[in-house]
């Protein structure tokens, strides 16, 4: 039997008060509609149709050919939106699930259970329901004395007795496909909004004597829809905990899950420790036995095994195994840090490669450069790569030594086993075994200290210390 899904993603989402189309708002690094489609894809669908309207091209750009599309040019309600898929699905046999693109927390397992329950019951329609201690604002599922669904009652229409019901409509349905589209043509828009509502199909099917079932899922939190920023933050919290729990089950130590933010889809190896306040975003992959220190932020980066990141920021960088960085350093895009490399505190690397075992202790900048292995970079070294118009590249050979407070002015090449004296500004190549030195010769002025204002202060302090 064919399985289809229709994802409703045509609403503007005015309550978000945003220039960004509602279903494109992200939950843990992934657009809400992408979360929905990702879970749907795990259920082996024959057809997936996404109903688009506002922001249609942006949704197409994001989802690509993972789904078919139907356009709702006028916003005339959820029933009208589903009807736009008739040209694609109208003649199909089988089952069709309908889910909203702003419900990012549903799982593939719940979708699979809904389809299976629908099939077993031989129903024309199956409503996905859940129970909550606070059902206010949700449609209530009214059942008869033997548990069969009688109707769905909206909050504003519920009697006092019906308002006490805690089983609610999640807004997800599974239908017999052909019966769905037949019923949709009978839906009227004689309501205050003048819209065609999908839940009206349930009443039409009941009146026709069709079987209407309801599958109650276990976790109410999955059903959370996002219509404003408050709901977006709540959904993000639920998703974040789900992601963190999965990593911990898989052998990652997360010291404080409530303050740790990991995007959906990030890979982390076992025995890695994540300290509080860490953010792992985008297309990031972290190996085993790593330590990601407190308040580090890693974006679109690859971290191999046994790497330590201490309170630092990485973006589009690679750290090879057994390297370390920080505290308070910044690896910018196209930084590649070799095996056993040490980058200390307050350093910055950009578009540069540091070979194995090279050490960059503190307060230095390496940009647009290729550095070999076993190099020592002293404190305060700056690779001067920008002439005001263009960036230029520098190369440093293996086993070289760059003294503190040196400026390496690109383009320049330092050969293997070259040496740069502290405080030098290097503008020319340095050959193997040479020392480059570019600074004024030291001159000592005899007695000059006594001519300086500090002399009187020193005498005063010396006298006070003797008393």
385 is in an annotated binding site: yes
Question: Would you state the structure tokens that stand for residue 420, as one six-digit string?
Answer: 């740069």
Annotated binding residue 365:
yes
User: Is 77 labelled a binding residue?
Assistant: yes
- Which one is catalytic: 54, 362, 392, 393? 362
Q: Is 422 annotated as a binding residue?
A: yes
- Please tell me whether 3 is known to bind a ligand: no
310 marked ligand binding residue: no
Flag whether 70 is marked binding.
no
- Structure tokens that stand for 219 in this block: 């976790």
Q: Is 69 annotated as a binding residue?
A: no
Tokens of 386: 């920008």
Tell whether residue 116 is among the known ligand binding residues: no
331 and 312 Cβ atoms separated by less than 8 Å: yes
CA distance 226 to 102: 5
- Rounded to whole angstroms, what are the CA distances from 284 to 262, 263, 316, 340? 10, 9, 8, 20
* 362 catalytic per annotation: yes
CA distance 209 to 65: 39
Check whether 376 is labelled as a binding-site residue. yes
Report whether 102 belongs to an annotated binding site: yes
Which string of b and e fits 264-274 if b means at least 16 CB within 10 Å?
bebebbeebeb
Flag whether 282 is marked binding: no
d(CA 220, CA 168): 9
**Which tokens sit at 417?**
């086993």
| Residue showing tokens 């006298």 | 463
154 is in an annotated binding site: yes
Tell me: is residue 139 an annotated ligand-binding position: yes
Instruction: Determine if residue 223 is labeled as part of a ligand binding site.
Output: no
Give the Cα separation of 292 and 380 in Å (integer): 26
* Residue 315 assigned ligand-binding role: no
3-state SS class at 26:
strand
Q: What share of the chain is helix, strand, coil (3-state, %, to 5)?
A: 25, 30, 45
Q: Contact 22/11 with Cβ under 8 angstroms?
A: yes
Q: H or E stretch including 335?
A: strand 335-337
Angle at 93 between CA 87 and CA 96, to 5 degrees: 75
101 is in an annotated binding site: yes
Q: How many other C-beta atoms lie within 10 A of the C-beta of residue 250? A: 11
Residue bearing tokens 């024959």: 46
Give the distance between the most distant pair of CA atoms in the chain: 110
CA 261 to chain centre: 9
Does 332 appear as a known binding residue? yes
Does the annotation place 81 within a ligand binding site? no
Q: Residue 85 in contact with residue 4, Cβ under 8 Å?
A: no
Residues in the chain: 467
100 annotated ligand binder: yes
447 is in an annotated binding site: no
Annotated binding site for UDP-N-acetyl-alpha-D-glucosamine: 8-11, 22, 72, 77-78, 100-102, 139, 154, 169, 227, 332, 350, 365, 376
Annotated binding site: 8-11, 22, 72, 77-78, 100-102, 139, 154, 169, 227, 332, 350, 365, 376, 385-386, 404, 422, 439
Tell me which residues are annotated as active site.
Answer: 362
Annotated binding site for acetyl-CoA: 385-386, 404, 422, 439
Annotated binding site for Mg(2+): 102, 227
């Amino acid at each position: 039997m064919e399985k289809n899904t229709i994802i409703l993603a045509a609403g503007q989402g005015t309550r978000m008060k945003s220039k960004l189309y509602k279903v494109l708002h992200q939950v843990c690094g992934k657009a809400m509609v992408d979360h929905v489609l990702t879970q749907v894809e795990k259920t082996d669908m024959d057809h997936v149709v996404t109903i688009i309207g506002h922001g249609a091209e942006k949704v197409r750009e994001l989802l690509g050919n993972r789904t078919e599309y139907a356009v709702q040019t006028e916003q005339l309600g959820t029933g009208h939106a589903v009807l736009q898929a008739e040209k694609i699905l109208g003649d199909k046999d089988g089952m069709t699930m309908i889910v909203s693109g702003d419900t990012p927390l549903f799982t593939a397992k719940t979708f699979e259970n809904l389809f299976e329950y629908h099939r077993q019951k031989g129903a024309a329609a199956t409503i996905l329901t859940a129970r909550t201690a606070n059902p206010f604002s949700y449609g209530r599922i009214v059942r008869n004395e033997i548990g069969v669904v009688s109707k769905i009652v909206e909050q504003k229409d519920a009697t006092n007795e019906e308002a006490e019901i805690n089983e609610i409509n999640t807004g997800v349905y599974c239908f017999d496909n052909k019966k769905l589209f037949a019923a949709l043509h009978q839906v009227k828009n004689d309501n205050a909004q003048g819209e065609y509502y999908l839940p009206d199909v349930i009443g039409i099917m009941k009146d026709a004597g069709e079987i209407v079932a309801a599958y109650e899922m276990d976790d109410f939190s999955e059903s959370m829809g996002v219509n404003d920023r408050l709901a977006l933050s709540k959904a993000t919290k639920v998703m974040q905990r789900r992601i963190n729990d999965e990593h911990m089950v898989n052998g990652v130590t997360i010291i404080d899950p409530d303050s740790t933010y990991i995007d959906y889809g990030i890979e982390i190896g076992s025995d890695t420790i994540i300290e509080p306040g860490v953010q792992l975003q985008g297309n990031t992959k972290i190996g085993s036995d790593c330590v990601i220190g407190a308040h580090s932020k890693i974006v679109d980066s690859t971290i191999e095994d046994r790497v330590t990141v201490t309170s630092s920021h990485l973006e589009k960088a690679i750290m090879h195994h057994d390297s370390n960085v920080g505290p308070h350093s910044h690896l910018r895009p196209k930084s590649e840090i070799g095996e056993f490399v040490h980058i200390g505190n307050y350093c910055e690397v950009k578009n540069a490669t540091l070979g194995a075992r090279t050490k960059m202790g503190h307060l230095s900048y390496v940009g647009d450069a290729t550095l070999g292995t076993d190099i020592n970079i002293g404190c305060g070294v700056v690779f001067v790569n920008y002439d005001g118009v263009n960036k230029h590249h520098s190369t440093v050979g293996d086993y070289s030594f760059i003294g503190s407070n040196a400026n390496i002015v690109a383009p320049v090449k330092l050969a293997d086993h070259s040496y740069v004296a502290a405080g030098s500004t290097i503008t020319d190549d340095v050959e193997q075994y040479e020392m480059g030195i570019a600074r004024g010769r030291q001159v000592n002025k005899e007695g000059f200290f006594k001519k300086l204002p500090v002399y009187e202060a020193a005498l005063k302090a010396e006298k006070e210390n003797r008393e």
